[in-house]
Structure 1
């Protein structure tokens, strides 16, 4: 059986038909579905380019193909291309395919509508929370309040009508977006770290006199939901109190210039480094290993991979009480979002107590090991099997355009 999976990732396609991405999910990520299914079709926005920029990762490959959806960025471009987008999405899956929608997602919701219309089942992987994503201060858009209500209710409806649902959190998303009674449910993170992602032992922290500690954070700057502005404000407040730290941000996006300007305005530009994109694996681990403290100041999260990767390096961490972060860190290591003063206090308390940092290192490393491939692969495989079983049980003799229309060769290759 083939599984069709939607994603909000945006990919690049070269003239030879190959598909690429600057960051995961790449081919290795999509291979996880092959533990149960014979083929994987990834439904995603694809932009054609003549050359592959340096450092990109291959998406398609053995048993994994990409079904291209017209590329767009933002709601206005989507509205202009919505008819073509919906048509491409509906053509991505036939009645004999299993369908897993990674939601919340515009593409996922479009395919879900087509499946419901033709009486076909679908499963979900819930990877984020639109109620938090569209909270005030997270996304700047005139329709934000309306989008928040509509997309949140849509996700609730999707969870109530799905044949099987997996959540990346252990409790948070399940509580807000419950399923119908009797539906197969799993709590399985999208993160599964290889053995070399983990350090062998926790840190024994000893503060060197006269050396400013390094605080590191990782996340996209395409939107402001990672809360990097809050962290810059906290660094400035720490400096006002005589606590000088160096902040390194790893990641890129359109709001970088705005954040650089904020650092200058707050007088901490010489203490804030924007490292840009750093490759996954060893390059990122080296950055983490050089830091003293990891901070995740997000305004919204599912279950953050960056935080888990930092914990696997034995890094003490401070984060906000949003999404799945409280499932990873203790209450003493979390603060409310959008509160620079509370964040500064939490950072200062952690850095001021080497014994506390050592204890946090040990605790974080132990917790991160619960996200090893060895631990998660059996749970994820069991969920995929439940999806396959549910698809077989719930698939009716569908009628209408979706079941009658064969998927042509161009759609199969995404070309």
Structure 2
């Protein structure tokens, strides 16, 4: 049985026609679907790259996985590329038994539409909120597009026969589905070991031992909705009230905007841009160096990076946005964009190592709910059920045709 996966993410193709991922779409992820389907065709944007050092990327190519490039459908490109993209998507759908569509994505929306027209079995993975991401993107264009994308995503998700959500309840409330649905995070961590929290508690007991406090954030520097401004303003407002500190920012993008803001607040020398790291162990090691993790996002459907930080026993503070309150205690939550409230919580953390230890342990224990074994089992049940649905649909079609 063949399946196609539709999403709007950039994959890299080298001269040997092998595909690589900048982020999280590597071969191990495709294995989730290959456990249930014999072959997977990945339909997304692909970019030619001439780079002899491909070791910095994760390999996306692998056995029983094919790739089909679709032209860009973001921004005004959709006007020029829509017909070609639609034709490609229909061709792929005609050769597979079902579709797995990750939303929000414009390629995904077209795939939803064509699945309905062609009577093709489909399931959606709801991994984000189109409204929050676009409205808080930081551009007028984002605010203009947000209502349209919100309506389209809501329209198709409610029609989906099967849906898997990364949040416990946030996305389900905003984008309900009348079909079969489950909650299953897209976090990919192994169950944290006890030694992790033991080392964290020992670290907190030593306080900061004459070194700077390390605050940490993970997210693209090129968007406004990750809350970099809130974090920088909060730390700038209390720079004279707390011990020496650093703000470590992990993620792709141009740092100029945030460096300029930090300079204007007198903390330019406190900001460290860490670039990107391959997902997995490298990120977890980076988190072990963070004392307090910050997620002051304006849009965050689940908070995957937050779960990773919690799995390392990081005390964490987050905005009352999307799925963040599903993960953190109330005393760790601030109103989105409210840097003054964030700064007060930071001071409260720093003044009480007992509070820091309590929250570190709470976060560590809560993160176990998102360990790979538990989530893999939930996904397997879901995709097995979807596969049976696909088989039933095809049996009915075959019977009707006879």
Distance 1:79 1:259 in 2: 33
Q: Equivalent residue for 1:31?
A: 31
Distance 2:116 2:79 in 1: 22
Give the 3 Å change call, closer, same or farther, for CA 391–95 of structure 1 in structure 2.
farther
Give the 3 Å change call, closer, same or farther, for CA 199–328 of structure 1 in structure 2.
farther
Q: Equivalent residue for 1:212?
A: 212
SS at match of 1:220: coil
1:16-415 correspondence to structure 2 within 5 Å: 16-54=16-54, 55-70=56-71, 72=72, 74-94=74-94, 96-135=96-135, 138-180=136-178, 183-195=179-191, 200-202=196-198, 203-204=200-201, 205-206=204-205, 207-208=207-208, 210-254=210-254, 256-394=255-393, 397=397
SS at match of 1:124: strand
List runs of 5+ in structure 2 lacking aligned partners.
none
Cα RMSD between the aligned structures?
2.0
**Mapped contact 2:189–2:280 kept (Cα < 8 A):** no
Larger RCO (alpha carbons 8 Å, 6+ apart)? 1
Give the 3 Å change call, closer, same or farther, for CA 48–96 of structure 1 in structure 2.
closer
Give the 3 Å change call, closer, same or farther, for CA 251–73 of structure 1 in structure 2.
farther
Q: Equivalent residue for 1:410?
A: none
Distance 1:268 1:198 in 2: 36
**Mapped contact 1:163–1:390 kept (Cα < 8 A):** no
Q: Select between 59-68 and 191-200 the one with higher mean Cα deviation.
A: 191-200
Distance 1:144 1:22 in 2: 24
SS at match of 2:177: coil
User: Could you give the per-residue CA deviations for residues 227-261 of structure 1, whole angstroms, max 9, x where no partner exists?
Assistant: 1111111110121434542100011114x211111
Shift in Å at residue 64 of structure 1?
A: 2.0
**Mapped contact 1:199–1:312 kept (Cα < 8 A):** no
Distance 1:319 1:3 in 2: 37
TM-score by length of 2: 0.92
Distance 2:294 2:96 in 1: 45
Distance 1:288 1:325 in 2: 18
**Mapped contact 1:31–1:64 kept (Cα < 8 A):** no
Distance 1:321 1:102 in 2: 25
TM-score by length of 1: 0.89
More helix per residue: 2
**Mapped contact 1:164–1:386 kept (Cα < 8 A):** no
Shift in Å at residue 321 of structure 1?
A: 1.2
**Mapped contact 1:90–1:110 kept (Cα < 8 A):** no
Shift in Å at residue 173 of structure 1?
A: 0.8
Shift in Å at residue 391 of structure 1?
A: 2.4
**Mapped contact 1:199–1:313 kept (Cα < 8 A):** no
Distance 2:350 2:165 in 1: 34
SS at match of 2:356: helix
**Mapped contact 1:234–1:340 kept (Cα < 8 A):** yes
**Mapped contact 1:95–1:120 kept (Cα < 8 A):** no
